[in-house]
Amino acid sequence: MLFNLSLRIKLPLLGAALILVTALALSTSFLYQTWEAVRRDTFKNLNDLGQTMSRALFPALLHDDIWRAYETVSLPFKDSESAQAESLIVLDAKRRVFASSHPEKHPVLSELASLGADFATLDRDIAAHPEDQILTVERDSATHLFIVIPIESDTIRLGSLIVSYDNAWIRQRFIEFIERAAWITLLILAVLLPINWYWGRRMVAPLQEVTDRLSQISGGEPPPLDPKLYPYNDEVGALYLAYGQLVEEMKEKIVLKREVVKHERMAAVGRLTASIAHEINNPLGGLLNAVSTLKRYGSADPLNQKTISLLERGLTQIKETVAALLVEAKITSRQLTPHDLEDVRVLVSPGAHAQNTRLLWKTALSAAVPLPSTPIRQLLINLTLNAIQAAGNDGQVEVNLHAGETELQIVVENDGEGLSPAVRERLFEPFAQVSEHGNGLGLWVCYQIVTQLDGSIRAESAGPLTRFVVTLPLSESSER
């Protein structure tokens, strides 16, 4: 159940758990050390206090001066709140109370053993303990810890000083420490947990972006992912890069797929057109011959002559159309020369002039190139006339022809109205009717020529410009 939670919750939870565990572990270790330190400090303080006092108490015992002993042991209790020990008791050599910081609890001359269970046990401990050594008594069952310090000088022991300490005080000091530590820990958690929560969200948000987009991929083109959303060089950054590449590749694939489909369709249309044209061409020759014979040797009846003439014009139109469909680029032809280009310019210029279109002719061909001149001339004429027509009045057409080492590139662009997507889809198909003029075979012819010459033709729309780019390979292949 927990593992099904969103990372957005899981990461902060995990972080919080780690922080808590760390805080607990540190606190525990700190508290243990504090406990030890508090105990050590307490023991040391009591010991120091006792040792100092025992020296001052020696003359008091020696002179049997109860008052002096009392004044000495009651000194630490002047400010009752800050007392280190609970009480200080001076015993004489017979373990009777000589003086005590709290005489009411420990009356002068009373036997130590008579002061209560703890003291009775202590009395036995002192009796059993070596004379000249400090005795520390700490029992879990006892409410007090005792340090018994001999009051002696020059190996003569006159009595003992009992430093009594209430165990509860150590616990109380320790609890104060715990409270302080707890507050500090809570304070740190109050700072760390929101940071942790924020960090968790920050970690997960970019992953969420990727997930959202991946889930949409099946619907078609993958939605783009701005790499600026996550500009860092870590694993998530790598994921963003990989996603970007994936999107690019998928786009290319889609484009390629479309190209292939279009190409296949065009090829099918080409084959169909060619076979129909051939089928028509064969009888057409006979028909035209028959009409010609009729015209020459038939009756001179004007009606007949008129009908024959009508037939002849119709058949001729069919022949021209079929001839246009039957593009034959690979017919043997002389090589393309700079003169050919100049011829084309002369041919198309009047059209441009007629509608006041500027024609920029930028052809750079220094010598003949190994390409058949006739289809290239037709190609160039078709493209340029189309462009002039598209440019319209006061438009501009630019023709670029450039021969490289391995290929010839022709770029024809105009600044007329662009191509609509629907038009682009069926651009090179026969009778696609790009404009209201022409028969719709111009681009088809161009396409056939380029395809047969193993080149490529594509149309681009760049802002107000419509551009046709033709690339033709220059090699012995064109000589075949």
Partner 1 sequence: MGLERLLRLCLAVWVLTASTIGMGAEWTRPIRVGMTPAFLHDQHAMLAEWKLYLQNELKRPVVFVQRDSYQETMDLIHKGKLDFAWLCDYPYIALGRLVKILAVASYRQQPIYHSYLIVPSSDTHTRSILDLKGKVFAYAAPQSNTGYVVPRYQLRKAGVDANTFFRKTFFTWSHSKAIRAVASGLAQGAAIDSYVWDSLQKVDPKLVAKTRIVWTSEPFGFPPIVADHAVSKADFQAFQNALFRMKDDPAGRALLDKLNLDGFVEGTPSLYKGVTDMMRELGDL
Q: 19, 31, 38, 108: which one contacts partner 1 (CB under 8 A)?
A: 108
How many whole angstroms separate alpha carbon 480 and alpha carbon 468? 27
CB of 70 to partner 1, least distance (A): 5
Considering the complex, state which of residue 31 and residue 56 has its C-beta at the smaller distance from partner 1.
Answer: 56
How many whole angstroms separate alpha carbon 53 and alpha carbon 193? 52
CB of 190 to partner 1, least distance (A): 47
CB of 105 to partner 1, least distance (A): 8
Token reading at 369: 């190139």
Considering the complex, state which of residue 103 and residue 116 has its C-beta at the smaller distance from partner 1.
Answer: 103
CB of 108 to partner 1, least distance (A): 5
> Contact between 103 and partner 1 (CB under 8 A)?
yes
How many whole angstroms separate alpha carbon 20 and alpha carbon 77? 43
CB contact at 8 A, 166 and 143:
yes
Considering the complex, state which of residue 66 and residue 322 has its C-beta at the smaller distance from partner 1.
Answer: 66
> Contact between 116 and partner 1 (CB under 8 A)?
no
Considering the complex, state which of residue 99 and residue 352 has its C-beta at the smaller distance from partner 1.
Answer: 99
> Contact between 99 and partner 1 (CB under 8 A)?
yes
CB contact at 8 A, 53 and 120:
no
Considering the complex, state which of residue 65 and residue 111 has its C-beta at the smaller distance from partner 1.
Answer: 65
> Contact between 104 and partner 1 (CB under 8 A)?
yes
CA 184 to chain centre: 37
Q: Which of 297, 350, 468, 457 lies closest to 399 in space, CA to CA?
A: 468
How many whole angstroms separate alpha carbon 372 and alpha carbon 361? 21
Place of tokens 């042991």: 73
CA 334 to chain centre: 60
Q: 70, 119, 230, 243: which one contacts partner 1 (CB under 8 A)?
A: 70
CB of 100 to partner 1, least distance (A): 8
CB of 67 to partner 1, least distance (A): 4
Token reading at 363: 């052809």
CB atoms within 10 A of CB 341: 21
> Contact between 170 and partner 1 (CB under 8 A)?
no
Residues forming contacts to partner 1 in the complex (CB under 8 A) are 64-67, 70-71, 74, 99-100, 102-104, 107-109
